[in-house]
Amino acid sequence: MIPIRPCPATAPEAMACLTAYFAELSARFGQTFAPYADADPGALEPPRGLFLIAGAAEPLGCVALRTATEGIGPGLGEVKRLWVAPAARGAGLARRLMAEVEARARAMGLTALRLDTSHHLPEARALYLRDGWTEIAAYNSNPHADHWFEKPL
């Protein structure tokens, strides 16, 4: 089984995942997305957030959680950057990453999670609907999002 563990968002393995994630977004959206430093570096670090990596020798996936951002009030968290390497797809790793981020959000005392996605990522939207997320009105101004979701914890 592929291990999932917390990792600093600035660690080399996290940056490798984010580089691959943004490269895939660039290809799917038809515009360039580039990894960037978060305006608030502590947003993805405990106690306000976290970054999870899947994989041992090489990173095979990631997901992030942050709190206190646009549209995210007390008790809420936002899931960001869910990505699984093409070679690891189809084995349930995205579901495991989401289950792990949900469990850790509960442990942080959060009562619900939100996320957004694009029509360019239909498999992501299908995953969220399958796993009990409810489509909601837009909660942020992300220009690349077409769908917004929430899930009580």
Q: What is the pLDDT of residues 99-142, one digit of tens each?
A: 999 999 999 999 999 999 999 999 999 999 999 999 999 999 99
Is residue 105 situated within a structural domain? Answer: yes
The total number of structural domains in the chain stands at 1
Tell me the pTM: 0.94
Is residue 125 situated within a structural domain? Answer: no
Taking the C-alpha atoms of residue 47 and residue 22, their distance in angstroms, rounded to an integer, is 26
Is residue 142 situated within a structural domain? Answer: no
What is the per-residue pLDDT for 57? 86
Q: Which domain holds residue 70?
A: 4-116
Short-list 123, 112, 104, CA closest to 63? 104
With residues binned 3-state (H G I as helix, E B as strand, rest as coil), the percentages for the chain, rounded to 5, are: 30, 25, 40
Is residue 138 situated within a structural domain? Answer: no
**What token pair was written down for 66?**
């942050």
Helix (H, G, I), strand (E, B) or coil at 35: coil
- pLDDT in single tens digits along all 153 residues of the chain: 899 999 999 899 999 999 999 999 999 999 998 766 666 768 899 989 999 999 988 999 999 999 977 778 889 999 999 999 999 999 999 999 999 999 999 999 999 999 999 999 999 999 999 999 999 999 999 999 999 999 999
Is residue 121 situated within a structural domain? Answer: no
CATH number at residue 89: 3.40.630.30
